[in-house]
Chain A
């Protein structure tokens, strides 16, 4: 029985779906290349064997960060077997990776997925013949539904350490001689197959090059490579690709039967409309418009109102009675009712809106439209020095900036990736939504959706403007590249959609139970105690002292009160805490009371300026930590914060002072 299993395969072939079925976990899945950017470990159900899910790769030569994770794993971790998931509808391309994995020499099983898609395209794959040709077990599976996983598990368990394939392709005299010579140079204690190392080195795999450097002097190896190239007369990588291609063509020919092809696939029909030359962009904008209207106007707001009524009415009454019943002290009563219920409840009322937004993002991810959006947007992104692929992390960033920053790993050019990371915090995430809902609902009740839409657009425009600025200076000498695979459309399954929506929304609810709960208690305590003692009036509290420091700085922006200053500081924890803090500061039991209170402290103009400031100012704690981790340098984290604060101050200043000049 193998002790540690790794899942390898091309991007978007269903590795994570299979992983979820094998382990019973709910990792994030979607229909585009690059959903998984980090390795994830799970346990094979009922058998206590660890399995690792890896980002999709086309070959073992990494071109982007997420692909690097897979090669790194292969070289440095001691696993005992490989499950290679192969897309039957793209057999030729998938087998190129399989060959490289077989050369690695670990026991391997092929999980053959998407046989149905292949049949629609007119190709029938015979799993048994494929298994005979390659010499490893081939198990047909349907990763989305879990069909075939039992058989796969049985086969995995029957593997022994010795059952590694004795696989070898003859690459011709020149290459084989070079492999032999390189093998002689390597010490016997390399834990990885020498033949595989030699082949990857000859192909020009940079990561293997670096790996070999830790064992031997690579100069003689390089001269072996150069000699082989001269003997061959052309590029080694191309030669090796062709040899493999030949071998694969034979395998494909013996193991597949061509059937009558259906005239026009559904994907082609849909693509004729949504990627139409003229309709492509308008259709995407229409989709976004419907998303906003449903979230803020048609469906989200009424639901949020209902929830608000429940929190401020029945829930508060019950809690108040319960607390009296158990004889809680007035201090505890105050803490629970004005601290926790106001703070946490004030944020939880926005759960319906946030779930609607997440539902649409999940729909975009699961249907196959995501990669098309990247294509439709590419021309525009090219003009500002980025590429269409950078648009995907930005859309994910509308949900939450943290996974957005992670998703940039699929961008090949390092500088382009860095730039996308720095601009991501300007994408208005769901945590900023409660702030908009509160202020826009108070001051712009009739045009709520339009005002919020304006803020989202403002974030995008600022990000793109900065992109243009940076790409003309910082990234001058790096050309932007764009190649993307467009997956076939799939009807999103209700269950997957729900899981995916819940998985994202869960984070918001969990934050309410942890960060916002803790924050609310702390904030309430800061309002309860002050320099003069305990139980002071709000204006003499510590929170007022802290907020007052910021007030004069914020005055030119139209909200120079200590309350605004204090909420903005606490908003660094998570942006929805701005609303929690205001609920506590203004003693608001429900939204109506809070709206009544902020009307006295803000004008419509200063409210707009405040919303713009919340949108643009420092990214939240979690995002800042992720930026630090993903860029690998503290410097970029500070650049991001500094840049955000400067931009926020400038824009809010322009809105407020400009608006005043115009007479608002």
Chain B
């Protein structure tokens, strides 16, 4: 399963971070998104817009394209 599959309010643990774009990947890691962290989807913007997720008390907004490359369970 990937992060983009989660519904609003659902929680999961990150299993792998296969984001292709290096800049985005680095940013996400710096902001605290890495393997083994708990992630919770807080809201999803309409029309395929970005998602807001919470990791360790930190709110991060990322695009669905990238969220589709982040494995969770």
Contact = CB atoms under 8 A, between A and B. Distances in A.
Interface of A: 58-59, 61, 63, 89-90, 92-93, 96, 121, 241, 245, 267-268, 271-272, 275-278, 280, 371, 374-376, 378-379, 382, 388, 412-413, 479, 481-488
A378 B63 contact: yes
B45 to A, nearest CB: 6
A383 to B, nearest CB: 9
B27 A483 contact: yes
Contact of B28 (A59, A483, A486): A483
Contacts of B43: 271-272, 275-277
Contacts of A275: 43, 45, 52
Contacts of A59: 26, 30
Contacts of B61: 371, 374-375, 378, 388, 482-486
Contacts of B49: 378-379, 382
A96 B44 CA distance: 29
Contacts, number: 99
Interface in B15-73: 21, 23-24, 26-32, 34, 42-50, 52, 56-63, 66
A429 B32 CA distance: 37
Interface of B: 21, 23-24, 26-32, 34, 42-50, 52, 56-63, 66
Contact of B31 (A58, A121, A376): A58
Given A59-B30, A92-B56, A388-B50, A483 B66 contact: yes
Contacts of B32: 90, 92-93
A93 B50 contact: no
Given A58-B30, A63-B26, A379 B48 contact: yes
Nearest to A280: B45
Q: What is the interface of chain B mostly: helix, strand, loop, or mixed? A: mixed
A248 to B, nearest CB: 11
Contacts of B59: 267, 271, 485-488
Among B27, B50, B60, residue most surrounded by chain A Cβ atoms (within 10 Å): B50
Rank and list the top 5 A-B pairs by shortest CB-CB distance, nearest first: A379-B49, A58-B30, A486-B59, A375-B61, A483-B27
B64 to A, nearest CB: 9
Nearest to A122: B57
B28 A375 contact: no
Contacts of A245: 34
A484 B46 contact: no
A52 B14 CA distance: 38
Contacts of A483: 24, 27-28, 31, 60-63, 66
B45 A378 contact: yes
A278 B29 CA distance: 30
Contacts of A278: 46
B42 A58 contact: no
